[in-house]
Amino acid sequence: MQTDPARDALAQRIRQSLASLPDVQEKNMFGGVAFMVDGQLAVSAGRHGDLLVRVDPSDYRDLLTAGGQPAFLSAGRPMGEGWMHVPLDIIADAETLNWWIAVGRTSRSV
């Protein structure tokens, strides 16, 4: 995978956030660095430092008001209400990033 400074910086922040958990794995997917927690994909550091988050579809509409945006596989191909894109500027501070990571960790219904 090609090096992308914004993606790599976010991946490092995610690593730090998940460091205390026993079962965390990283995989290259979706053009980014995905983080599996207890065997389930939780979040992924995107190409431009944005975050892809696994979400409970029943929480999707509420999460849109928290700064999340619909996620797309490619132009015009939505990933559905089980996934959300969070722009870099929303997750600039550690508290907000950790909150979104917790959303991804607790979403198991996708």
Pick the CATH number of 5-106 from 3.40.50.300, 3.40.50.2020, 3.40.50.720, 3.90.1150.30: 3.90.1150.30
Where does the pLDDT of residue 110 fall: very low under 50, low under 70, confident under 90, or very high at 90 and above? Answer: very low
Q: How far is CA 1 from the centre of its chain?
A: 18
pLDDT(108) > 70: no
In angstroms, the CA 35 to CA 75 distance is: 24
Does the pTM surpass 0.85? The reply is yes
What letter does residue 59 receive in the DSSP assignment?
G
The rounded percent of the chain whose pLDDT value lies above 90 is: 79
Residue with tokens 């389930």: 40
The domains of the chain are located at 5-106
The answer to whether residues 85 and 52 touch, using CB atoms and an 8 Å cutoff, is yes
Residue with tokens 């619909």: 70
Quick: pLDDT tens for 30-78. 788 999 999 999 999 998 899 999 999 999 999 999 999 999 987 788 8
